[in-house]
Amino acid sequence: MKAAKELKNELFYTKKNVYQLTDEANVKAAFDYAEGYKNYLDNAKTERESVTKAIEIAEKAGFKPYTLGQALKAGDKLYYNNRGKSLFVFTIGSENIECGIRISAAHVDSPRLDFKPCPVYEDSGMAFFKTHYYGGIKKYQWVTIPLAIHGVVTLKYGTNVEINIGEDENDPLFYINDILPHLGQNQAKKTLGEAIEGEQLNLLAATSPYNNEDEGEAVKLNVLAILNEKYGITEADFLSAELSAVPADKARDIGLDRAAIGSYGHDDRVCAYPALTSVIDNADSVHTLMCVLADKEEIGSEGASGMQCSIFPDLIDEISKALGADSAVVRANSKCLSADVSAAYDPNFKDAFEKRNTPELSCGVVLIKYTGSRGKGGTNDASAEYIGWLRSVMEKDNVIWQTGELGRIDLGGGGTVAKFIANLNIDTVDLGVPVISMHAPYELISKVDLYETYKAFSAFCKY
């Protein structure tokens, strides 16, 4: 008979962390890879900037713009830019397209504060921009932190003006007021969710009047005069604008060992970046590969730039048609990794998690069979066969992976783009990086988890 210890080694599944399972070279590669990611983060705070930066990276690797209806051949490296807000980067493999496409789909929108259509107003010597929050935020986290403004304003005759204020160290910043603790007794009695209300998320824009004049609304006028001088815009131009307040900080190493990264927008750039770079780095794969960088995931994947838009199946149709294939067959044989983050176990909030089934920081890429809420409501529940296939693929490249679900049962829940892709008859499972403080203005991830995610996507592209 075998000794218990030996048999346990054979039969038990034990989660181990990446540092224990891999060598120094792997950790070094992870830290090197993280530098490129941090650069991406600092230049991609909105979906538009993420798409622009991704195109820059793809073009550097020889990818060319694709137009619907274009002829295609094996070896092509292309990207389809959807309205500057979502992106499809794809290669045409040498095998028959009816063997399917390997799709990795991430999203590049993150929770933030969008400007309302009529944002500017003045009250008591202060001018503000009114905002409407986008995505799931804890409102109290957005007061008294440095904020920057990113976005575009479309002028009456269609010219786009790009705005980015607060990222250069010489730029001014923006700010949302909070009440001092000395006068905060009424606020302190409220629940955390009610302490700061949506209509209080007003961005401080100026505190001095135009030309020092004692004229009504001169502080608001000052805001508009400064914007008009710099960008040529007037108050009416806000009606055709997409401006957002986002945290102004840069991505930085966290901890004495520099093993983690703090940043705004890890959800979901921390999956978008490895999904993109794995397709670029494996462009010579026999498979046809596609990386999707979608918009609007944080508000339900709706609209023309969201994952539910028909442009995604349309593209598969167009690619199939150009190669003389039946797109229904292509979709039936395609495989997808829905590349999104998961909630990492947080020892400061033990009650929120069921530890056996929660991903832990530095234990590798997370494979999530199902998301949803309550009785798995609203989830793509990936099949045993598909997960089994993926396990064997990751094994080939020694990818360190772990399983997970989104916290304790009945405590809340969430979803990803997975179900919208699976609904098109494409096997799909969620795979991504565990995040601490998800949706906070400054989130945290581990560098080795990021790198194992890149290795997982790469193996998916290759085998």
Structure-token match 């794809």, residue found? 90
For residue 268, whether the previous peptide bond is cis, meaning omega lies within 30 degrees of 0, is yes
The phi and psi torsions of 428 (rounded to 5 degrees) equal -140, 140
The phi and psi torsions of 253 (rounded to 5 degrees) equal -65, 145
Shortest reach from residue 439's CB to Mn ion, in Å? 6
Tokens of 190: 């409220």
Distances (CA, A) of 332 to 99, 107, 231, 318: 9, 23, 49, 16
CA distance 355 to 13: 14
Pick the stretch among 18-26, 44-52, 263-271, 343-351 that binds Mn ion (CB under 5 A): 263-271
Count residues contacting Mn ion (CB under 5 A)? 3
Tokens of 238: 């806000």
CA distance 453 to 432: 6
Residue 203: what residue type?
Answer: L
Site for Mn ion in 291-320 (CB under 5 A): none
Tokens of 352: 């929120």
Position 443 contacts Mn ion (CB under 5 A):
no
For Mn ion, the closer CB: 318 or 340: 340
For Mn ion, the closer CB: 77 or 139: 139
Pick the stretch among 170-178, 255-263, 265-273, 380-388 that binds Mn ion (CB under 5 A): 265-273
Q: What is the dihedral of CA 278, 282, 283, 284, to 10 degrees?
A: -170
Pick the stretch among 11-19, 267-275, 375-383, 395-403 that binds Mn ion (CB under 5 A): 267-275
Cross-strand partners of 132: 114
Position 267 contacts Mn ion (CB under 5 A):
yes
Which of 362, 330, 150 minimizes the C-alpha distance to 242?
Answer: 150
Shortest reach from residue 340's CB to Mn ion, in Å? 4
For Mn ion, the closer CB: 26 or 46: 46
Which of 307, 298, 300 minimizes the C-alpha distance to 244?
Answer: 298
Shortest reach from residue 169's CB to Mn ion, in Å? 29
- Interacting residue with Mn ion among 340, 360, 405, 452 (CB under 5 A): 340
For Mn ion, the closer CB: 267 or 360: 267
Shortest reach from residue 159's CB to Mn ion, in Å? 33
Shortest reach from residue 416's CB to Mn ion, in Å? 6
For Mn ion, the closer CB: 107 or 447: 107
For Mn ion, the closer CB: 340 or 427: 340
CA distance 426 to 167: 40
Shortest reach from residue 341's CB to Mn ion, in Å? 5
For Mn ion, the closer CB: 237 or 268: 268
For Mn ion, the closer CB: 268 or 427: 268
Pick the stretch among 55-63, 335-343, 354-362, 396-404 that binds Mn ion (CB under 5 A): 335-343
Structure-token match 């179900």, residue found? 419
Shortest reach from residue 298's CB to Mn ion, in Å? 5
User: Nearest-CB residue to Mn ion?
Assistant: 268
Site for Mn ion in 174-193 (CB under 5 A): none
CA distance 402 to 18: 10
For Mn ion, the closer CB: 327 or 402: 402
For Mn ion, the closer CB: 119 or 265: 265
Q: What is the DSSP string of 38-103?
A: HHHHHT-SSHHHHHHHHHHHHHHTT-EE--TT----TT-EEEEEETTTEEEEEE--SS-GGG-EEE
Position 346 contacts Mn ion (CB under 5 A):
no
CA distance 175 to 146: 6
Q: Are strands 365-368 and 427-432 parallel, antiparallel or unpaired?
A: antiparallel
Pick the stretch among 148-156, 260-268, 281-289, 453-461 that binds Mn ion (CB under 5 A): 260-268
Which of 340, 333, 282 minimizes the C-alpha distance to 307?
Answer: 340
- Interacting residue with Mn ion among 76, 268, 360, 427 (CB under 5 A): 268
Half-sphere exposure of 238 (CA within 13 A, CB side): 18
Shortest reach from residue 300's CB to Mn ion, in Å? 11
- The neighbour count for residue 347, using CB atoms within 10 Å, is 9
For Mn ion, the closer CB: 72 or 108: 108
Residues 316/409, Cβ–Cβ less than 8 Å:
no
- Where along the sequence are the contacts to Mn ion (CB under 5 A)? 267-268, 340
